[in-house]
Copies of this chain bind each other. A is one copy, B any other.
């Protein structure tokens, strides 16, 4: 029988289901308020060296306030999953916050172009990268969420994406066919922005879920930012709509416009001008430093960033763009 191959990439996170079970056993599962501030949540739940997973889709429903705070607090040596990481990757690259990455989609902003700075960071050779595809990262989170150490799949086989991944070829125990085995991915921290949450962490999401149901289950700690806090009764009036349940969640922060400059389905569209400005200033080191100083380092909080970029009037425009497409 031909030899089955293993990707040469590194697995950055805990693989042992039993260790993770012990961790989840000891999480506090009482229905208690987890309201806090972005500053406090980042300081308390994200340590240097942690591996983080970011909810949403790069420039859609992203937890921008937390990403800025990570940069502001100067977190270092983070790992992260680049599961269509676009503007989120760009922010973390701006702060030089990470040193390893599970990459499916990085350094680009989809149709908007590529981030010069993020590319520079990844081309420096200082970042350990393991390659995956989008489905592979989705299924790695799903394996973790299900409590199994791997899931089989039929993608990536035969390519260099496999060769530089940490996947393994296996044979199906029933059919004998070749399959890809994807190892579970358990981040230390998930950071997810949602449309609505109660103070306990029960979350509702409008529009696509991307992988956030599974990311929340896969991660040791979960930080939620939400467009608005709602009463627990609202959650209980429509239990079919709860995507993330309270026992997974460690911190809840109400951050209106918290996905800005990203799109927030049902709430506001992306600020394409600001995103293009960001891409543009990356072409000039000096302007980029000033830009970051203005938009992140000098801001005491996320509201200040919003105010500097048009405040209520801009938000009103983005809301109209979303509502009257």
- Point out residues on A near B: beta carbons under 8 Å: 11, 15-17, 147-154, 168, 170, 172-175, 177, 179, 181, 183, 205-207, 240-241
Contact = CB atoms under 8 A, between A and B. Distances in A.
A148 B206 contact: no
Contacts of A150: 152, 172-174
Contacts of A168: 173-174
Q: Indicate how many identical chains form the complex.
A: 2
Nearest to A184: B174
A131 to B, nearest CB: 17
A174 B179 contact: no
B177 A149 contact: yes
30 contacts: A11-B174, A15-B174, A16-B175, A17-B175, A147-B154, A148-B151, A148-B152, A148-B153, A148-B154, A148-B179, A149-B152, A149-B172, A149-B174, A149-B175, A149-B177, A149-B179, A150-B152, A150-B172, A150-B173, A150-B174, A151-B151, A151-B152, A152-B152, A168-B173, A168-B174, A170-B173, A173-B181, A174-B181, A206-B240, A207-B240
Nearest to A265: B240
Nearest to A16: B175
Contacts of A207: 240
B177 A17 contact: yes
Nearest to A169: B173
A173 B181 CA distance: 7
A324 B17 CA distance: 44
Nearest to A170: B173
Contacts of A11: 174
A241 B179 CA distance: 33
A139 to B, nearest CB: 8
A166 B183 CA distance: 25
Contacts of A152: 148-152
A322 to B, nearest CB: 16
A9 to B, nearest CB: 13
Contacts of A153: 148
B17 A154 contact: yes
A11 B241 CA distance: 36
A175 to B, nearest CB: 5
User: Closest 9 A-B residue pairs measured CB to CB?
Assistant: A173-B181, A168-B173, A149-B172, A174-B183, A148-B152, A149-B175, A170-B173, A15-B174, A149-B174
Contacts of A17: 154, 175, 177
A94 B251 CA distance: 54
Nearest to A176: B149
Which of A153, A175, A206 has the most chain B CB atoms inside 10 A of its CB? A175
A121 to B, nearest CB: 29
A168 B176 CA distance: 13
A153 B143 CA distance: 10
A207 B242 CA distance: 12
Nearest to A18: B177
Nearest to A11: B174
